[in-house]
Amino acid sequence: MRSLKWCFVDELEPGDQLFDGLVDEQPEAGEVVEVVALDLVRTPSGPCVWRVHTTGPTIRYEVMDRVAKVAA
């Protein structure tokens, strides 16, 4: 199992690796993707969300969400 470091989404930087599809906090259930860019966007319903562009899919997170990234 890989070592994890939990952080808030706004602490991610391009080049960080995180787990896409983290299921029940078990990283082996997800695929490792690399962060390419982040942006904060307002949704049509009003709240803001983080949009994390990765080498895989673009992932959306709530502003105060925490994510599991691969510890450096």
- What's the predicted TM-score (pTM) here? 0.78
Mean pLDDT score of the chain, rounded to an integer? 84
- Per-residue pLDDT averaged across 5-18, rounded? 92
Helix, strand, or coil here: 28? helix
Helix, strand, or coil here: 10? helix
Q: Is 68 exposed, middle or buried (0-12, 13-18, 19+ CB in 10 A)?
A: middle
Residue 27 DSSP symbol = G
What the chain holds in terms of domains, given with CATH numbers, is 4-70 (2.30.30.30)
Residue 25 confidence (pLDDT): 54
Helix, strand, or coil here: 2? coil
Structure tokens at 22: 């983290």
